[in-house]
Structure 1
Amino acid sequence: MSRLIGVTDHAVVRWIERAHGVDVPAIRQQIIGHVARGVDITERMDPRGNVTVVLDGVRYVVRNHTVVTILPALGR
């Protein structure tokens, strides 16, 4: 019986980038552009030290000036 093989998020991103030609650095810059404006406006932190910026139906969670996750907006 074969063993199950896992795949890390890092490997998935590299596969998307290298096997499908997706420009990950350009996407990173696009996210930074969206979030930077919102962080400047909303510098309010939740109890965990996160700043949440909601733009175009997406929640960007920022911790220590780094986007740590992206979620659908609440209620979607």
Structure 2
Amino acid sequence: MREPRSQAERDATTMESMYVLLTALALAGGIFMTVASPALIFDWVQADARRCLIIAAKVTAVSAALIRLVQGLWRR
């Protein structure tokens, strides 16, 4: 059996988990803005293409965030 973790170890785990969460959110936001920026900024993107770009940005951002969360928390 393992001995109980100290308060410092529990705090370190909490901080690392929060870091993983925040970096996943930042990554998702950056990817969303990168993929969706043509649809959000330029008027030459038509309605169907705009909708497709925004959907692709959402899917890509969520996928990247989930991959980052799993990758970061798996090591714990």
TM-score range, shorter chain: 0.3 to 0.5
Query: Max radius of gyration: which structure?
Result: 2
Q: Which structure is higher in strand share? A: 1
Q: Which structure is higher in helix share? A: 2
Superposition TM-score, scaled by structure 2 size: 0.34
Superposition TM-score, scaled by structure 1 size: 0.34
